[in-house]
Structure 1
Amino acid sequence: MSGSDSPAGAPAGTVDMPALLARLGIPGLVDVHTHFMPKNVLDKVWAYFDAVGPLTGLEWPITYREEEDRRLALLRGFGAVAFTAMLYPHKPGMGAWLNSWAADFAARTPDCLHTATFFPEPGVDRYVHRALDAGARVFKVHLQVGGFDPTTAELDAVWGALADSGTPVVVHCGSGPTPGNFTGPGPMGRLLRRHPRLRVIVAHMGMPEYSDFLDLTERYEGVRLDTTMAFTDFSERLAPFPERESKRLVDLGDRILLGSDFPNIPYPYAHQLHALERLGLGDDWLRGVLYENGAALFHVKPTGGR
């Protein structure tokens, strides 16, 4: 399937991305939630989504099922000047290996924010420190897939190191699309009480517990939210964003970052931007979400450099 194609039944609502960027006067997009990972791991992720229909009641066709070079070209063509390589282990023994792959990927992909990950296991603090020393700029944690409590004592030194270094951590901690044993605002609330200086980026706006994660964002200065899949037609059928919270989106506008979940999305990339634009929160809000907030957090230069 080519990058310009969309699966059967995909939403028609998209935007002219070059025109949108020109109107907003921004040099491109800072997308903090995109996935690049070793091929054998990505193949397993895609196999999961191919079978996810029974879990959500909705088919989940991968729109951008392409080879790595093609996916990079597509993402840059959409206007991304900085993006991530979100990857995550689901069992012990994977974290250090994934971080090694991600370091190599970042070295050969200068517009990628060097991404790392971790799992509660012996030696996790050592390989997280190695990743930080190697230049990791963002970490990814998936509480639903990993199935672990973020407050486990095994990770206390890791969270402390990330808080001390100010390194952002994208955490899938909401209970969408299906709840896990440690998803929801409770575990993250306990973690933030223990490490209040953490720079946590709540993936998917905390879907479906939007209000609770907005509360945490208001309470802790370091917490941000990414827009991944939120507000799209697909997600609005599963977990609609509560209209009563629209004002808080404006109030917290400088704490909201663009995320897309590319390439693992069941609709065209431009639909995420359309979904954000149609919120009607204004060009200043959209300019911040699409570029300025992420550029400030990750020190992205207007040319896409670092």
Structure 2
Amino acid sequence: MREAERVRKFWQGLGLPGIIDVHTHFMPKRVLDKVWAYFDSAGPMTGREWPIAYRTDEEERLATLREFGVRAFTSMLYPHKPGMAAWLNAWAADFAARTPDCLRTATFFPEPEAADYVADAVATGARVFKAHLQVGGYDPRDELLDPVWGLLAEAGVPVVTHCGSGPAPGAFTGPGPIGEVLRRHPRLRLIIAHMGSPEYSDFLDLADRYGGLTLDTTMSFTDFSEAEAPFPRAELPRLDDLRERVLFGSDFPNIPYSYAHALECLVAFAPDEEWLRAVCHGNAARLFGLPVG
């Protein structure tokens, strides 16, 4: 069976109109090329072979998602140094304008201009932000980011945050630093990428504490992730308890396995089909104000 048929069979079997994927990457070509080169080199943050499953040009990648039946997706992108975020945001705004099924994505970095360009992005239609503490190597508690977090909390714009310590710990990863941000800004709509791997339990605790916090399934539960950072089986009942605050994410195109595999692996961990329907479509539709049917 062709992969697109496997993916469509998955969501059609659940009675869904398609999938909403909150964690996909589209970036300027020269930036994405550098990201792929890093994975090719088995860089220090990965330390293992990581073949890119969907190494194609932008139009083909878009066509692939649409053939799969992905109705909405993001263009996760992130800076690793000052002076980069505003340029990435301009690119992402243009990408979303010519890609109507993409939720317009933006990002930021701790720098004096951050509050201004984040405010501009929100005012002009950004739907979701990405904060990558591991690649960016910055402290989310930096005073330059305090007005950014405050603005995003007030606006209710979600932020997908890679703050877990997988695949390798950073200086400011783990639940501690981002937990302090949540204490300052408890209304923040944080989406914890990768279920907070490998500190799954700690991030589930934060979700219990803060009602605006959700988790995305990106790479979690797959054979690739289970080999080195397995989801603790004792925590499975908490996935059921948080069924309205778990979102499907894939990390497309930067995954070392098929998109269908990521979806099919959810089934083994899902409490029931209603959970799958919520995770793969309903929860994100509600969060982003998208059509439910």
TM-score tier (shorter): over 0.9
* Aligned 8 A contact 2:80 2:136 in 1: yes
Which position in structure 2 is the counterpart of 1:47?
A: 37
Q: Are residues 1:174 and 2:164 paired? A: yes
Q: C-alpha offsets along residues 111-152 of structure 1, whole Å, 9 cap, x if unaligned?
A: 000000000012111100111111000000000000011011
**Match for residue 27 of structure 1 among 17, 30, 33:** 17
* Aligned 8 A contact 2:270 2:276 in 1: no
Q: C-alpha offsets along residues 226-278 of structure 1, whole Å, 9 cap, x if unaligned?
A: 00000000000110000000000000011000000000000000111011012
Which position in structure 1 is the counterpart of 2:155?
A: 165
Instruction: Give the drift of 1:53.
Output: 6.0
Name the aligned partner's letter for residue 233 of structure 1: D
Which position in structure 1 is the counterpart of 2:181?
A: 191
Moved over 3 A (4+): 53-57
What is the CA–CA distance in structure 2 between the aligned matches of 1:130 and 1:196, rounded to whole Å? 23
Q: C-alpha offsets along residues 149-198 of structure 1, whole Å, 9 cap, x if unaligned?
A: 10110011000000000000000000000000000000011110000000
Which position in structure 2 is the counterpart of 1:210?
A: 200
Q: Secondary structure at the match of 1:285?
A: helix
> Whose RCO is larger (CA < 8 A, sep 6+)?
1
Extract unaligned runs of 5+ from structure 1: 6-13
* Aligned 8 A contact 1:159 1:198 in 2: yes
Which position in structure 1 is the counterpart of 2:237?
A: 247
Residues 22-101 of structure 1: matches in 2 within 5 Å? 22-52=12-42, 55-101=45-91
Which position in structure 2 is the counterpart of 1:220?
A: 210
Q: C-alpha offsets along residues 12-47 of structure 1, whole Å, 9 cap, x if unaligned?
A: xx9822222222111011100000000000000001
Which position in structure 1 is the counterpart of 2:291?
A: 301
Q: Are residues 1:268 and 2:258 paired? A: yes
What is the CA–CA distance in structure 2 between the aligned matches of 1:165 and 1:158, rounded to whole Å? 11
Note the aligned Cα RMSD (angstroms): 1.4
What is the CA–CA distance in structure 1 between the aligned matches of 2:178 and 2:243, rounded to whole Å? 21
Q: Secondary structure at the match of 2:145?
A: helix
Alignment length, in residue pairs?
A: 292
Extract unaligned runs of 5+ from structure 2: none
Identical aligned residues as a percent = 65
Q: Normalised by the size of structure 1, how large is the TM-score?
A: 0.93
What is the CA–CA distance in structure 1 between the aligned matches of 2:197 and 2:187, rounded to whole Å? 23
